[in-house]
Amino acid sequence: MVVMKFGGTSVADAAAIERLMSIVRAERQAAIQPESPDWRGPIVVVSALGGATDRLLGVAAEAGAGDIEGARANTRALLARHVDVANVIANDAERAETVAFLQHEFGELERIAGALGVLREVSPRWLDAIAAVGEICSSRIVAAALTAQGLAASWVDARRVMVTGPEHTQAPPLFPETKTALAAVVDPLLAARRIPVLGGFVGATREGVTTTLGRGGSDYSAAIAGACLGASEIQIWTDVDGMLTADPRIVSGVQVVPHLSFAEASELAYFGAKVLHPATIQPAVADNIPVKILNSRRPIDARGTLITRDRPPSDQLLTAVASKKSVTVIDITSTRMLMAHGFLNHIFEVFAQFRTPVDVVTTSEVSVSLTIDDRRALPQIIEKLKEAGEVSREDDMAIVCAVGEGLQTDPTFVGQLLQAIGDVPLRMVSQAASRRNITFVIREADLPRALARVHDRFFAAVQA
Ligand code: ADP
Ligand code: ASP
Ligand code: MG
């Protein structure tokens, strides 16, 4: 059984949903062969309509600021967009039922935003309830549209099957509970030859309170569902041809990477390749499920990227370069660090206490530099760190992470990389124990030229 996840642009409007339906139909036809091991499914996981989550968070922000009129206007505009997209449902009764559902959901949202607008406060719990409306509604539209086209689908309310901890806006999935819930709700649908359609990104606590898995989390939902239900493949359908050699929004002349190892894909996703949510690979690794990244606009012409435990060797030294903007570097300097044990432990405890992940770390005799991208608790973190030494911060930095299994074999690589970067000032440099990546930190303003230079140096030859 295959899990097919469609991102925001792949469900952005009626035309995109038509493409989705052709892709699902082709998968269904392949699966229908009696000898196919994939005779069940597929399972479809969808994101909110492109841009809807940002807009919903805008509604929450307006409510928080007491702008009830603004929140109401945006909620109504979002409802109108969803009702318009629901025209893709080619059956009057299915469409009417879906529109009634949309009206109910957005009516509730308007009520909630109104109440929060009076209080002028939106807690993370309400933020999740508001953001979740996007996936709940998009999945409902897609399920009805598939059914109306003769592809018998069933809407699955993600809040019934994706069980998470209570950490709102970044809720961790609880695997055993999710597996049980998916088996109870989704397995019978699959056995009845129906196509379950599930909103990504959304979950609920054991008590049934709505949560979300964090921005971009629909990929993660798909991987969790795939692992829990024993999928043979997880497909991530998006708006680019696969994992590209660098971020196409920053570098021109990028190419598709045909095959990645799980480890390479994890590093790239973690260090900014937005096409994959950083946690996506994790459930796939445990059960060794192949992941594919595919272009929903070019389902036949573009072969996509295949991600598996191992990949065939390639003569490319570098596989791809990921980058992450809006990073903050924090330096802690203290002569107490000299020869002292427990110093680093103390520092990391501060970050753990404020639940802030640290990405890159470098140390010298008397100082530690590290990067974070979640600045929510930064003022408190800095206050605490001051107990350990002198603290300074630098915003508007960027991480560049060059990834490739080939780095393990070529000792000249670091030299080549540094030469390519040339006169771009390096703030931090680190090589992981896996020797699968080299990570460096530079000023965000230098990112385009640094990336272009690295990309030219290691990929231009292939292009020529
Ligand atoms: P979806 O809505 O389908 O989940 P996303 O916007 O989350 O899509 O991710 C796809 C986008 O990721 C692409 O449009 C591209 O701009 C961006 N991206 C950044 N780095 C990479 C990369 N290395 N390879 C492919 N896409 C990348
Ligand atoms: N809709 C959510 C977001 O925009 C989740 C996703 O698209 O993966 O972050
Ligand atoms: Mg995404």
186-235 pLDDT per residue, tens: 999 999 999 999 999 999 999 999 999 999 999 999 999 999 999 999 99
Average pLDDT on 40-63 reads 97
pLDDT tens string 58-86: 999 999 999 999 999 999 999 999 999 99
Which atom of ligand 2 is closest in space to residue 218's alpha carbon? 8
Is the minimum distance from the CB of 10 to ligand 2 under 6 angstroms?
no
277 C-alpha to ligand 3 centroid (Å): 6
Please check whether residue 49 is in contact with residue 134, taking contact to mean a CB–CB distance below 8 angstroms: yes
131 C-alpha to ligand 2 centroid (Å): 9
Closest ligand to Cα 275: 1
Is the minimum distance from the CB of 47 to ligand 2 under 6 angstroms?
yes
Cis check: omega of the bond before 42, within 30 degrees of 0: yes
Residue 327, Cβ density class (10 Å: 0-12 exposed, 13-18 middle, ≥19 buried): buried
Average pLDDT on 249-272 reads 95
Compute the distance between CA of residue 148 and CA of residue 68 in angstroms, rounded to an integer: 37
Mutation choice for ligand 1 from 243, 245, 275, CB with most ligand atoms inside 8 A: 275
11 C-alpha to ligand 2 centroid (Å): 12
pTM of the model: 0.94
Average pLDDT on 265-285 reads 95
Which atom of ligand 1 is closest in space to residue 296's alpha carbon? 3
First to last CA, the chain: 40
**CA-closest residue to ligand 1 atom 1:** 7
Q: Determine which helix (DSSP H) or strand (DSSP E) holds 308, and give its type and residue range.
A: strand 305-308
| pLDDT of amino acid 411 | 84
| pLDDT of amino acid 235 | 98
261, two tokens = 């190892």
109 C-alpha to ligand 3 centroid (Å): 24
